[in-house]
Structure 1
Amino acid sequence: MSVDGEVRRLSEEADEPGWEVDPDDEWGVAVITTVGRQLRLRRERVGMRAAEFATAVGYGEDLVYKVEGGKRIPRQEYLDKADEVLGAGGLVAAAWEDVKKVRYPKKVRELGKLEGKAVEIALYECHIVPGLLQTPEHARSVIGAAQPPYSPDDVERMVAARLARQSVFERSPAPALSFVLEEGVLRRPIGGKMVWRRQLERLLEAGRLHNVVLQVMPMDCDTHSGLDGRIELLKFPDGTAVGRSDGAFSGRPTSELKHLRVLELRYGTIRAQALSPRESLAFIEQLLGET
Structure 2
Amino acid sequence: MSLERLSEVVNISRSHLSRIETAEAMPPPDLPPRLDVAFRTDGIFMELYQLAAREIHPDQFRRRMELEARACLIEEYAGQIVPGLVQAEGYARQQFVVSNPKATSEEIEQLMAARMSRQALLHATPPPDLSLILDEAALRRFFGGPAVMRAQVTKLEALTLTSNSVVQVLPVEHGGHALMGGTLTLMTLKDGAQVAYEEAITTGMLFEDVEAVRERQRAYDLLRACALSPRDSAAFIRTVLEGLPT
Identify the TM-score tier after normalising by the shorter chain. Answer: 0.7 to 0.9
Secondary structure of 1:119's aligned partner:
strand
Change in Cα spacing, 1:119 to 1:98, as seen in structure 2 (3 Å) is closer
Runs of at least 5 residues in structure 1 that lack an aligned partner in the other structure: 1-42, 44-52, 84-89
Structure number with larger C-alpha Rg: 1
**Whole-Å Cα distance in 1 between the matches of residues 198 and 15 of structure 2?**
46
| 1:269 counterpart = 2:222 | yes
Counterpart in the other structure of 2:110: 157
Q: Contact 1:230 / 1:246 at 8 angstroms: preserved in 2? A: yes
| 1:239 counterpart = 2:192 | yes
The C-alpha deviation readout for 1:168-192, integer Å capped at 9, x for no partner, is 2212233221101111120122210
> Offset of 1:274 from its aligned partner?
1.6
What amino acid does structure 1 have at the position aligned with 2:207?
T
What amino acid does structure 2 have at the position aligned with 1:231?
L
The C-alpha deviation readout for 1:204-246, integer Å capped at 9, x for no partner, is 1111322111111111113423224211110111111111234
Counterpart in the other structure of 2:121: 168
What amino acid does structure 2 have at the position aligned with 1:208?
L
What is the TM-score when the length of structure 1 is the normalising length?
0.69
**Whole-Å Cα distance in 2 between the matches of residues 272 and 114 of structure 1?**
26
Secondary structure of 1:189's aligned partner:
coil
Which of residues 49, 55, 76 is equivalent to 1:100?
49
Bigger proportion of residues as strand: 2
Q: 1:212-291 counterparts in 2 under 5 A?
A: 212-246=165-199, 252-291=205-244
**Whole-Å Cα distance in 1 between the matches of residues 116 and 75 of structure 2?**
18
What amino acid does structure 1 have at the position aligned with 2:153?
L
Give the alignment's Cα RMSD to 1 decimal: 2.9
The C-alpha deviation readout for 1:91-150, integer Å capped at 9, x for no partner, is 5x7541244232552446544332221011011111210011100111001111114532
Which region of structure 1 is more displaced relative to structure 2, 257-266 or 93-102? 93-102
**Whole-Å Cα distance in 1 between the matches of residues 16 and 177 of structure 2?**
54
Counterpart in the other structure of 2:75: 122
Q: Contact 1:228 / 1:246 at 8 angstroms: preserved in 2? A: no
Which region of structure 1 is more displaced relative to structure 2, 266-275 or 168-177? 168-177
Secondary structure of 2:151's aligned partner:
helix
Q: Contact 2:91 / 2:144 at 8 angstroms: preserved in 1? A: yes
Which region of structure 1 is more displaced relative to structure 2, 224-233 or 177-186? 224-233
What amino acid does structure 2 have at the position aligned with 1:126?
G
What amino acid does structure 1 have at the position aligned with 2:227?
A
Change in Cα spacing, 1:67 to 1:179, as seen in structure 2 (3 Å) is closer
**Whole-Å Cα distance in 2 between the matches of residues 236 and 136 of structure 1?**
27
Q: Contact 2:183 / 2:199 at 8 angstroms: preserved in 1? A: yes
Secondary structure of 2:65's aligned partner:
helix
> Offset of 1:55 from its aligned partner?
4.4
Counterpart in the other structure of 2:155: 202
Q: Contact 2:169 / 2:233 at 8 angstroms: preserved in 1? A: yes
Which of residues 78, 84, 109 is equivalent to 1:131?
84
What is the TM-score when the length of structure 2 is the normalising length?
0.80
Which of residues 95, 103, 106 is equivalent to 1:142?
95
Change in Cα spacing, 1:97 to 1:268, as seen in structure 2 (3 Å) is same
**Whole-Å Cα distance in 2 between the matches of residues 153 and 268 of structure 1?**
40
Moved over 3 A (4+): 53-81, 106-112
Q: Contact 1:225 / 1:269 at 8 angstroms: preserved in 2? A: no
What amino acid does structure 1 have at the position aligned with 2:230?
P
Which of residues 140, 145, 151 is equivalent to 1:187?
140
What amino acid does structure 2 have at the position aligned with 1:150?
A
**Whole-Å Cα distance in 2 between the matches of residues 200 and 94 of structure 1?**
33
Q: Contact 2:185 / 2:197 at 8 angstroms: preserved in 1? A: yes
